Chain A
Amino acid sequence: MDWFKKPNQGPKPQKKRETPHGLWLKCEQCDAILNRLELERNLGVCSNPKCRYHFKIGHKEYIQLLLDPDSFEECDATLVSGDPLQFREKQRYPEYLKQYQERTGLLEAAVSGTGRVGNRPVCLALLDGAFLAGSMGSVVGEKVARSIQRSIKTHWPLIIVSTSGGARMQEGILSLMQMAKTSLWLTRLAEARVPYISILTNPTMAGVMASFASLGDITIAEPGAMMGFAGPRVIQQALGTELPSGFQTSEFFLEHGFVDQVIPRYELRAALMKILGFFPERE
């Protein structure tokens, strides 16, 4: 089981990580020593009631915790990135991709398909931070676009679980255009009056946050997740002083009116079922 891999460290060998392997690990927020198996049972949430830190988990774990058992059917699993710019600076892009593919067992940073939530069929797309920080290139854009198209065709509600560092630099302008591609397809979902629930997890930044992730009919965020347009370091440089604590967290964006509710991971499925109940099933 690799529930608690740290996604943002680049393609380094797993052995170099500081987190001790074995049964115990330290909470990244409260330093409590946690039992790995218990943490898994808790869906990756720290058992310290005063902390409840949400560890990063992968798309498989979200599928497990959101959908009815064995209801997920993957679509478009065979999409892989091209190399439109022949990007060679520092590292050849195709090699970079290959490293991440080998390391994560994923072909790309998004997984999409259909499933059921409380027996209600839905279309689902999930980003996975283990693959190049969940960055959006042509494949992520295409998978999200096709998920929206499936929702339009089936009238099944769309659920997107986001986590992303932003657009995929190595695909240049074409990664920027994925923001337009996904958002323009969402205009058609709106026209078809099919609900779209956007779930924001840690972190959801930049190009993904400034496109489909911010365009949900209903937007839910996990506690303590980082989100926003610019990275905190860039803002701090421009500002010159310390940023207030809690800046750019889920709670911050709830306070400022950009998130509907902050909901702990272990209550997400129940919340989804409740929300979907307000939108009658359509043929």
Chain B
Amino acid sequence: MNGTVLDFEKPLVELERQIEDMRNFAVTENFEALTEEIRRLERKAERLRREIYSNLTRWQRVQIARHLQRPHTLDYIELMMSEFFELSGDRAFKDDKAVVAGLARLDGEPLMVIGHQKGRNTKENLMRNWGMANPDGYRKALRMMKLAEKFRMPVLSLIDTPGAYPGQGAEERGQAEAIARNIFEMGRLRVPIVVVIIGEGASGGALGIGVGDRILMMENAWYSVINPERCSTILWKEKDKAAARTPDCAEALQLIAPDLLRLGVIDRIIPEPVGGAHRDYQASANALKACVVEVFNELRDIPPQALIDARLEKFGQMGVFEEISDE
């Protein structure tokens, strides 16, 4: 875990380690007198925990969303679904492993699940391309969505990407077209679609599997048109300045769950365990599952045409503008 402690978590992690050491010592030495001291430190840790995590800046939340130990799509599938049968390939070019998909069973009901997949170490990330999909990944997702539509299965889409892959092959195979096509087809897919931003939701790469009837977001996820680093690089040409201003850009972009709820882009925030989803996989998966099941139940009996009409209405009203009167 050492390499994955975030800067602002260090005092807490240090204290937790101290408590752990003391507890081990107390057990092996059968040293009762330490019990009171352990209790005192635990209270202190609890206070510190609340203090740190109730005042997170947007930039700190971005760090949590990117935490190496954060649960990813396949973790949630394993913890939420009673069955999963993975499906591969776009039937055109390849199987893009930055996107996973398959038939799953949630609360007894079959559904199609798709999602970006990140790795947890270099080897995994080379295979998963750090969760950055090529056009083939978007076309793989589209194939699964069409399959779901054909057999009237709802679709669950889990977003967790630092962006669509900016590569030569990606452009040759039409990254822009693949994303546009997915947005278009998700707009008229005649089955319920629930989208959850579980980690990072960067730009078109996220939206490429991000159109749905309900958009949910994990408490410490982020979702925006651009990541804070890139935003800062565009605004501030000098490298040092851009790095220094990145946290401010995260603030300016309004990219965390409460921002998006206020802006009308998401429907619900799914609470995470104190400290972030990586601190308790099962609790996170339980919260996600409860919310997704509830939302699918809301959508279940809506006729397909009403569903896609409401979907158009939902996205059609997004945006802020004024009509000035003619002078």
Partners in one complex: yes
Which residues A109-167 have CB closer than 8 A to chain B? 137-139, 141-142, 145, 167
Contact, CB under 8 Å: A145 / B316: yes
Contact B319 A177 (CB under 8 A): yes
Cβ–Cβ < 8 Å partners of A227 in chain B: 176
* Interface-facing stretch out of A35-43, A56-64, A65-73, A76-84: A76-84
Among A191-247, those with CB < 8 Å from B are 191, 206-207, 209-215, 227-231, 234-235, 238-239, 243-244, 247
What's the nearest-Cβ distance from chain B to residue A280, in Å?
25
Q: Mark A157-186, 1 if CB is under 8 A from B, else 0.
A: 000000000011101111111111101111
Q: Quick one: given A173-B260, A188-B312, are A82 and B168 in contact (CB under 8 Å)?
A: no
Q: Give CA–CA (A110, B255) in the complex, Å.
A: 26
A-B contacts counted at CB < 8 A amount to 203
B316 close to A173 (CB less than 8 A)? no
Q: In the bound complex, what is the Cα–Cα distance between A237 and B215 (angstroms)?
A: 33
Please state if A229 and B179 are interface contacts (CB–CB under 8 Å): yes
Q: Report the bound CA distance from A257 to B172 in whole Å.
A: 9
Contact B311 A184 (CB under 8 A): yes
Among A76, A210, A228, max chain B CB count under 10 A is at A210
Docked-complex contact B204 and A215, CB < 8 angstroms: no
A89 contacts B252, C-beta separation under 8 Å = yes
If A173-B224, A239-B167 touch, whether A78 touches B324 (CB-CB below 8 Å) is yes
* Tally of A interface residues using CB under 8 Å: 68
Q: Does B325 contact A (CB under 8 A)?
A: yes
Q: Is B318 a contact partner of A235 (Cβ separation < 8 A)?
A: no
Question: A185 and B312 in contact (CB under 8 A), knowing A173-B265, A210-B175, A256-B172?
Answer: yes
**B134-191 contacts to A (CB < 8 Å):** 164-168, 170-177, 179-181, 183-184, 187-188
Is B171's CB under 8 angstroms from A247's CB? yes
B180 near A211: Cβ-Cβ < 8 Å: yes
Binds A, one of B25-33, B229-237, B274-282: B229-237
Chain A contacts for B211, CB-based, 8 A: 180, 184
Q: A227–B168 Cα gap in the complex (Å)?
A: 13
Contact check, A174 vs B263: say whether CB atoms are below 8 A apart: yes
Contact check, B323 vs A211: say whether CB atoms are below 8 A apart. no
B249 CB–A CB distance under 8 Å: yes
**A12 contacts the other chain (CB 8 A):** no
The interface centre, meaning the residue of B187, B208, B315, B321 with most chain A CB atoms within 10 A of its CB, is B321
Which residue of the partner chain, among B177, B184, B208, B236, contacts A186 with CB atoms under 8 Å?
B184
Whether B171 pairs with A230 at a CB distance below 8 angstroms is yes
**Chain A residues positioned under 8 Å from B234 (CB to CB):** 169
* Number of B residues, CB within 8 Å of A: 61
> Given that A173-B254, A248-B171 are contacting pairs, would A183 and B184 also be in contact in the complex, using a CB cutoff of 8 Å?
yes
How many angstroms between the C-alpha atoms of A227 and B180 in the bound complex?
A: 14
Let me know if A50 is at the binding interface, CB within 8 A: no
Interface flag for B52 (CB, 8 Å): no
Given contacts A90-B235, A187-B187, contact A210 B180 (CB under 8 A): yes
Q: Which residues of A contact B301 (CB under 8 A)?
A: none
**Which listed residue (B176, B265, B312, B320) contacts A229, Cβ 8 A?**
B176
Digitize B182-224: 1 where CB-to-A-CB distance is under 8 Å, 0 elsewhere.
Answer: 0110011000000000000001100110110000000000011
Residues on B with C-beta less than 8 A from A183 are 180, 183-184, 187
User: CA A141 – CA B254 in complex, angstroms?
Assistant: 20
8 Å CB contact of A87 from B167, B226, B236, B252: B252
Q: Which residue of B lies closest to A181 (CB)?
A: B315
Q: B204 near A207 (CB under 8 angstroms)?
A: yes
B166 touches A174 (CB 8 A): no
Q: Say whether A169 contacts B231, CB under 8 Å.
A: yes
Give A109 to B187 CA distance when docked, in angstroms: 25
Whether A85 sits at the interface, judged by CB under 8 Å, is yes
Q: Closest approach, in angstroms, between the C-beta of A283 and any C-beta of chain B?
A: 25
Q: A209-B176, A229-B164, A239-B167 are in contact. Are A179 and B235 (CB under 8 A)?
A: no
A231 to B207, CA, bound (A): 18
Q: List 8 A-B contacts (CB under 8 A).
A: A82-B321, A90-B235, A173-B224, A184-B211, A188-B312, A210-B208, A229-B204, A238-B166
4 closest A-B pairs (Cβ-Cβ)?
Answer: A138-B319, A230-B166, A82-B320, A184-B187
User: Which residues on A are within 8 Å of B, measured CB to CB?
Assistant: 76, 78-85, 87-90, 107, 137-139, 141-142, 145, 167-169, 171-181, 183-188, 191, 206-207, 209-215, 227-231, 234-235, 238-239, 243-244, 247-248, 252-253, 256-258
Which residues of B come within 8 Å of A, CB atoms? 164-168, 170-177, 179-181, 183-184, 187-188, 203-204, 207-208, 210-211, 223-226, 231-232, 234-236, 245, 248-249, 251-255, 259-260, 263, 265, 308, 311-312, 315-316, 318-326
**Given A173-B259, A180-B183, 6 further pairs, Cβ under 8 A:** A78-B325, A141-B319, A167-B226, A178-B319, A180-B315, A215-B180
